[in-house]
């Protein structure tokens, strides 16, 4: 069973490997001489840049929220999760509008300074950095907040009692202690940045995934695309193993005594104003301003009668697809996660690791692999949403798998053993004992996958059946034409539909075990 699931999930990769290595191999040195150095520098610098900025932003916001009591804290506490509801390409198109030549920001700047000065173009590294940071810092925030909340104060007190200053305590005790959470969130952020397609292509910043998409769509060079993908997968695998290794290395244990967690302490009103202003700025940049713009554009489209009548169908398509895909992914992921945690043979663990590959295989490449295989072997299924769902599952199951794994790890196997000793079969044990216990973790996994599917773009663009557009596709089509007003209604709808999922997710205690 595990093998079957893992086979489905890794099969696009196998196909990609096959097509990369069966073609003309002289392509490798040629790619190395031309595209690779630039792509490598761009991808790595963007990943590093976004890591640094999201860490700074995420940890500092989480720290302030968990340690200080101030007016507005309850609001900020949940509002920093909201940016996750905005797809990266929506944020990108909003920022390309705002920061464009003769755009609102430049005009405001010129008016303020009475000059003709042009602001830096949003296209390229800076734009990508800003957009990706604003879009992904909530991951760091969520994990860091959970870590700070479950943090044992005794360590800090010990440090301060032995004469460490507050800064020293923060950097040498507090931060290292939440390292697992930081590493886990970096992992999420970097994978997100590396596999993002929509934002970097709207902002024209050449990363691996964007170059791969261009090779496929601009030149139909599937072999180059495959080779680039393989490289990307190789990097990601190194990264994946590094993260796993790091997790096993860095466990911190409670030595003795009880855990005392921090209670937020009140702060002066000047500080409170400062905090509120800083938070307002971050929140406006990442969520407030974009959503206001979307509302304004939607309203403009509505009053000018440009609102599409078929929006309802796009909503249904998006919800329907995402729900099935999330459910299917959950069904496929359960045996993988279960077997790997309960019968951790090498084989089962390898199957589990194999499933994670889907996350790093660029969406467009996996999608095209599916397209070619289905048209060649099962043509009657091609053009149905089944292929699209499979693409979603391959790409997003890993995101949910992590939550499923940790939920299963938290169930004490003794309970299952007891049930089995009493004569229950494995399946029955799972449905009656394990499943009720992991329901929450599994719900979170489902929500996460649902959310990601709602925002999915490249695979949907390539594999959607004719006449089956989703909200994300509509946004993309209109935004690439710079028809901001027409792109706004579907964008606003995606945000509205994903907010509940994001909100539920934020309620979960995101502890990186």
For binding to other proteins (CB under 8 A), which residues are involved? 100-102, 118, 123, 204, 216-220, 320, 323-324, 327-328, 330-331, 334, 368, 371-372, 375, 379, 381-386, 389, 435, 439, 442-443, 446, 461-462, 464-468, 477, 480-483, 486
Sequence-distant contacts of 108-113: CB under 8 A, at least 24 apart: none
Residue 186 tokens, joined: 């970096």
Beta carbon nearer to other proteins, 34 or 412: 34
Element (H, E) at 444: helix 435-455
In angstroms, what is the minimal distance from the CB of 188 to other proteins?
22
In angstroms, what is the minimal distance from the CB of 217 to other proteins?
4
In angstroms, what is the minimal distance from the CB of 493 to other proteins?
18
Beta carbon nearer to other proteins, 8 or 262: 8
In angstroms, what is the minimal distance from the CB of 54 to other proteins?
27
User: What are the strands, taking DSSP E only, across 214-254?
Assistant: none
Query: Which sign does the torsion angle of CA 47, 52, 55, 60 carry?
Result: negative
Where b means 16+ CB within 10 Å and e means fewer, 312-322 reads eebbebbbebb
487 contacts: CB under 8 Å, gap ≥ 6: 90, 93, 297, 474, 475, 478, 479
* C-beta of residue 192 within 8 angstroms of C-beta of residue 138: no
* C-beta of residue 458 within 8 angstroms of C-beta of residue 395: no
d(CA 367, CA 388): 8
Beta carbon nearer to other proteins, 166 or 439: 439
d(CA 368, CA 347): 29
In angstroms, what is the minimal distance from the CB of 406 to other proteins?
16
Beta carbon nearer to other proteins, 77 or 100: 100
Residue 505 tokens, joined: 């997710």
* C-beta of residue 275 within 8 angstroms of C-beta of residue 68: yes
Per DSSP, the chain holds a count of helices (H) and strands (E) of 26, 2
Element (H, E) at 326: helix 311-342
Beta carbon nearer to other proteins, 156 or 469: 469
In angstroms, what is the minimal distance from the CB of 65 to other proteins?
28
d(CA 230, CA 343): 30
In angstroms, what is the minimal distance from the CB of 359 to other proteins?
21
* C-beta of residue 69 within 8 angstroms of C-beta of residue 264: yes
Beta carbon nearer to other proteins, 19 or 136: 19
Closest CA to 87 of 277, 249, 290: 290
In angstroms, what is the minimal distance from the CB of 123 to other proteins?
7
Beta carbon nearer to other proteins, 194 or 385: 385
Query: Cα 155 to the chain's mean position, in Å?
Result: 32
In angstroms, what is the minimal distance from the CB of 18 to other proteins?
15
Beta carbon nearer to other proteins, 144 or 404: 404
Beta carbon nearer to other proteins, 130 or 186: 130
**Exposure of 356 by Cβ count < 10 A (0-12 exposed, 13-18 middle, 19+ buried)?**
buried
* C-beta of residue 486 within 8 angstroms of C-beta of residue 301: yes
d(CA 214, CA 325): 26
Only one residue has tokens 């300074």, namely 113
In angstroms, what is the minimal distance from the CB of 126 to other proteins?
15
Beta carbon nearer to other proteins, 145 or 395: 395
In angstroms, what is the minimal distance from the CB of 105 to other proteins?
15
Beta carbon nearer to other proteins, 44 or 483: 483
In angstroms, what is the minimal distance from the CB of 187 to other proteins?
25
In angstroms, what is the minimal distance from the CB of 118 to other proteins?
7
Beta carbon nearer to other proteins, 89 or 382: 382
28 contacts: CB under 8 Å, gap ≥ 6: 227
Closest CA to 243 of 439, 477, 14, 512: 512
Beta carbon nearer to other proteins, 41 or 107: 107
Query: Cα 244 to the chain's mean position, in Å?
Result: 18
């Amino acid at each position: 069973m595990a093998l079957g699931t893992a086979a489905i999930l890794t099969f696009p990769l196998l196909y990609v490997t096959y097509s990369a290595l069966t073609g003309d191999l002289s392509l490798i040195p040629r790619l190395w001489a031309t595209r690779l150095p630039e792509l490598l520098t761009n991808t790595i610098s963007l990943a590093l840049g976004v890591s640094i900025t999201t860490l700074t932003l995420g940890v500092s916001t989480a720290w302030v929220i968990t340690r200080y009591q101030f007016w507005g804290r309850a609001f900020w506490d949940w509002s920093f999760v909201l940016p996750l509801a905005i797809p990266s390409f929506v944020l990108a198109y909003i920022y390309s509008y705002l920061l464009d030549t003769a755009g609102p920001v430049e005009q405001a700047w010129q008016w303020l300074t009475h000059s003709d000065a042009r602001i830096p173009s949003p296209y390229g590294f800076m734009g990508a950095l800003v957009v990706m940071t604003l879009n992904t810092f909530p991951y760091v925030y969520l994990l860091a907040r959970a870590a700070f909340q479950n943090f044992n104060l005794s360590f800090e007190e010990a440090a301060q009692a032995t004469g460490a200053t507050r800064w020293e305590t923060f950097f040498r005790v507090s931060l290292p202690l939440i390292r697992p959470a930081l590493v886990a969130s970096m992992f999420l952020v970097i994978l997100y940045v590396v596999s993002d397609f929509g934002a970097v292509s709207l902002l024209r910043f050449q990363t691996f995934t964007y170059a791969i998409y261009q090779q496929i769509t601009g030149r139909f060079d599937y072999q180059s695309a495959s080779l680039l993908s393989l490289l990307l997968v190789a990097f990601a695998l190194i990264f994946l193993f590094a993260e796993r290794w790091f997790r096993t290395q860095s466990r911190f244990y409670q030595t003795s005594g009880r855990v005392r967690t921090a209670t937020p302490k009140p702060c002066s009103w000047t500080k409170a104003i400062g905090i509120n202003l800083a938070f307002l700025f971050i929140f406006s940049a990442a969520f407030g301003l974009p959503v206001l713009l979307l509302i304004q554009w939607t309203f403009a489209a509505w009053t000018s009668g440009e609102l599409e009548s078929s929006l309802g169908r796009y909503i249904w398509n998006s919800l329907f697809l995402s729900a099935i895909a999330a459910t299917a992914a959950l069904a496929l992921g359960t045996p993988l996660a279960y077997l790997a945690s309960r019968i951790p043979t090498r084989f089962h663990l390898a199957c589990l690791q194999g499933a994670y590959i889907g996350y790093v295989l660029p969406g467009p490449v996996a999608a095209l692999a599916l397209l070619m295989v289905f048209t060649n072997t099962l043509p009657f299924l091609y053009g149905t949403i089944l292929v699209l769902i499979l693409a979603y599952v391959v790409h997003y199951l890993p995101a949910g798998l992590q939550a499923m794994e940790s939920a299963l790890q938290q169930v004490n196997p003794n309970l299952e053993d007891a049930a089995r000793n009493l004569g229950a079969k494995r399946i029955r044990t799972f449905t009656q004992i394990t499943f009720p216990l992991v329901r929450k973790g599994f719900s979170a996994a489902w929500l996460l996958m649902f959310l990601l599917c709602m925002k999915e773009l490249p695979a949907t663009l390539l594999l959607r059946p004719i006449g089956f557009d989703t909200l994300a596709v509509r946004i993309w089509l209109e935004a690439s034409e710079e028809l901001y007003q027409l792109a706004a209604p579907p964008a606003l709808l995606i945000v509205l539909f994903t907010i509940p999922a994001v909100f539920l997710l934020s309620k979960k205690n995101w502890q990186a075990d």
